[in-house]
Structure 1
Amino acid sequence: MSPRAGKPGPTPHTLAFVESPVQLLNTLEWAHAHAPTLRTEEGPGAGFTLVVLSPTDPMTRGQLRRMAELAREEGHEVRWEEARGGPAAPFQTIGGLTSLLRRARRVVMGDPFSRYVQLLLTITRARELVVVDDGTATMEFVGQLSRGERLVRWHRKGGRPGPRDLLFAPVSSSARRRLTPGGDRGVEVFSSMPIEETPRGVTVTANDFSWTRARFGPPRITKGADMVGTSLVETGVVDGDRYLEAVKALAGAHGAARYFAHRRESAEKLHRLAAETGLEIVRPDLPLELIARRGPIGRTILSFPSTVVHTLPLALAGTDVKVAVCDIDPAWLTENASPRAQGFLSGVTGTARDVHRLSMVRAV
């Protein structure tokens, strides 16, 4: 695939930026929900330009390429940017996008915490900004915007900002101002997550995964249980040994046979899980919502606190699949975990609808 795949077309009213498969999925869900408006603005086919700011992780890149194929099938132009392909890549990417950014009337983004996206926001003159789900981080983003706080990911350890944070602070502050409604500038949050603090002037639109349900399934349901992996070890929140013991205990208690790995889970960790738990490790080629909807999928899906405890019940609505979530024991947290980690993870579980709560397993 060439760096800028897709047929050139007229300047789009809508320009979308994604950096992960889930962001791209939720951009397609947003487009499906707003199809009448897009048909009017963009013309026949209701397509717009979707820019993939490609990461370097092979698993993420693979899923993004599969999602890009689906986006093209839906009539959207996909522009693939090797945005992290070397020291000069950011300058080349931003330079190549500047003209589009300045002419676009609406910008859709999947990760307002991304420094790349924040930098692009300083260029655009778009009067409409849309934030689509990037998982549980959306909950934190909306809360921080409501409280007027600087944009910081929830799993980052508290304390003083580092040198890079201080250097980037003016850009981050500018992005936060751009994401605050005012004058003729509107902000929409398109989310399947529970949002309790809605910033003044922000429009919140519910993502019910109607595109996913229309496009895939219903799935074939097996009798057993499947488990969903998490990257909490990789982000430094949960101790690796404790996590392995918890997975082993949970899988044994519920007879799980398969473990759907998160795209950020390390190969070493997954090898240990396979060897010590006997679980079949599955590396999905698409976001789990689509994998589950295509099937086959277990009658019970086991998960620790993560985005999927909110999204899977929506994607699997109308089926007999049960999503069960197990809380994180505070003893599993690392000494480097953010002071906010336990409260945030508990909130992810506590606000989930249509899930079964499991007793906390004890990892020794």
Structure 2
Amino acid sequence: MNPSAPTLAFVESPVQLLNVLEWAHAQGAAPSGGAPLLAGVPRQPGRSAARPGRAHAPADPPHPQAPPHPQAAVGPQAPAGPPPPTAPAAPHASAAAPAPDRLRIVVLPPTDPMSRGQLRRMAGLARDEGYEVRWQEARGSRLAPLRALAALARDVRAARRIVVGDPFSRYVQLLLTLVRAEELVVVDDGTATLEFAAQTARGERLVRWHRVGRGGLTARLCELAYAPVSATARRRFTPAAGTGRRIEVFTSMPVGVHGTMTLRVNDFAWTRARFGPPRLTRGTDLVGTSLVETGVVDADRYLEAVRALTLHHGATRYFAHRRESPRKLRALSEATGLEIVRPDLPLELTARRGPIGRTVVSFPSTVVHTLPYALTGTGVTVAVCEVDPAWLTGSASPRAGGFLAAVAESARDVQRIPVQAAPAAG
């Protein structure tokens, strides 16, 4: 493999792109060289793609000089906050910092407008940091995935390292069939990282925790046709000793690694160096989830839980998840009086730039693990409200209740709100 070949990162969501920037900061990765590009990134009408809009924060602060970080596989130490998970040291770690790796970022955008808008703004931040960003449409038509695969094949084969944001993505798994690089990095894709680590340790097929199998003939035929691709991805993500392949997981989640896999802690050092500290309001902010949209939690029960939290904590704002439906958000606003905020960047950046409440309450989700890192030293209290098993829908995965409980219980440096404090109608 050509040592001068770049590292190639594939992202499909705004949070994945943020975590690639965090990984690059921790790794000491450098731009790919030449003028930074936003190749093919569509601009929002009337707004520069390089500068994300912000409805609730002052102008961006100047770029501070980021502090140096150790290059060990167990990530850099945060100045305060949650203790990092334990992990074996990387076999390639050394006292001397290696030369920076060249990084190119490929965005494979979804079709929903909110995700695309946030990705466009995150791409602008990546360009501000000097990285090349390529916007590659891979959805929207039957031929789009094949066209994207053909367009990316040469770069994928030439890359010396591959960084992926979602190991469960079928398109990412398809790209892995072309990969020749011996090093693969998985940057945190939220709570799914917990399942990824557990499933690869057990040698299981990679399946999202909230997914429920459907028994239709067409679905079974599709699964059968896709099985070789899925099996190849599983082998890529579970290296055996002596193969020379290396897997690194970069995450804020309390995952356990196995085999020759190594762990680097994402403590959001780039976010803390780049933004804030935020101005704090006197109130409480609630963080929304897409548990209703994914069919896990009943919509009426969710609304009642949000109403109870609003009354109990005096909440004034609700930060919507990018996948929450407008109809659901209108119902929440009418029932609670909450101001609905649709962030134009991932919540970790929105909270760090501020203003943000002195208390932030969320249901079990990624942010109860990431916000304590991003908001270290700011005085913000992060709290997690448990999900009552009675709130789950009849179509929810059998694993859903236990998984959500584990997400809440494993969060560090957060307050826990028992389910009794936010009763749902029943």
Q: Tell me the distance in 1 between the aligned counterparts of 2:327 and 2:144.
A: 30
Read off the aligned partner of 1:181 and give its amino acid letter: P
2:169 and 2:30 map into 1 onto residues whose CA distance is: 29
Which residue is 2:22 aligned to? 29
Q: Paired residues, what number?
A: 352
CA drift of 1:41 comes to 9.3
Q: Secondary structure at the match of 1:317?
A: coil
Match of 2:116 in 1: 61
Which one of the candidate residues 240, 243, 248 is aligned to 1:188?
248
Residues of 2 paired with 1:344 and 1:220: CA distance? 34
TM-score, normalization by structure 1: 0.93
Superimposed CA distance per residue, residues 173-197 of structure 1 (whole angstroms, 9 cap, x where no aligned partner): 111101112311110000000013x
| 1:132-186 residue CA offsets vs partner (Å, 9 max, x unmatched) | 0110000100100001000000001257674322221110111110111231111
Relative CO higher for 1 or 2, CA cutoff 8 Å, sep ≥ 6? 2
User: What does residue 204 of structure 1 align with?
Assistant: 263
User: Is the 8 Å Cα contact of residues 46 and 75 (structure 1) preserved in structure 2?
Assistant: no
1:188, 1:202 within 8 Å by CA — same for their partners in 2?
yes
| Equivalent residue, structure 2, for 1:6 | none
Higher helix share: 1
Tell whether 2:94 aligns with 1:101.
no
Which residue number in structure 2 is paired with residue 343 of structure 1?
402
CA distance 1:40–1:276, change in 2 (3 Å): closer
Tell me whether 1:291 sits opposite 2:350 in the alignment: yes
Deviation at 1:12, TM superposition (A): 4.1
Match for residue 177 of structure 1?
A: 235
Q: How far is 1:70 from its partner?
A: 0.6
Letter in 1 for 2:149: I
SS of aligned partner of 1:48? strand
Secondary structure of 2:262's aligned partner: strand
> Contact (CA 8 Å) 1:47, 1:75: kept in 2 or not?
no
Q: Shift in Å at residue 99 of structure 1?
A: 0.3
TM-score (norm 2): 0.80
State the partner residue of 1:256: 315
Aligned partner (choices 138, 142, 151) of residue 197 of structure 2: 142
2:283 to 224, 248, 252: 224
Paired residue for 2:56?
A: none
1:14 equivalent among 7, 25, 37: 7
Query: For 1:285-339, what per-residue CA distance to the aligned partner results, in whole angstroms no more than 9, with x for missing partners?
Result: 0000000000000000010000000000000001110001110001100000000
Structure 2, gaps ≥5 residues long: 35-98
Residues 18-56 of structure 1 deviation map (CA, whole Å, 9 limit, x = unaligned): 000000000000000000xx3599799864210000110
Q: Residue in 2 aligned with 1:356?
A: 415
Question: Among the aligned pairs, what percent are the same residue?
Answer: 66
Structure 1 unaligned segments of length 5 or more: list them: 1-9
- Give me the whole-angstrom Cα distance separating, in 2, the residues matched to 1:121 and 1:202: 17
Deviations 1:250-287 (A, max 9, x none): 11100000000000001110111111111000000000
Go from structure 1 to structure 2 and tell me whether the alpha carbon gap of 1:41 and 1:276 turns closer, same or farther (over 3 Å shift). closer
Amino acid at match of 1:362: P
Change (3 A) 1:39 1:66: closer
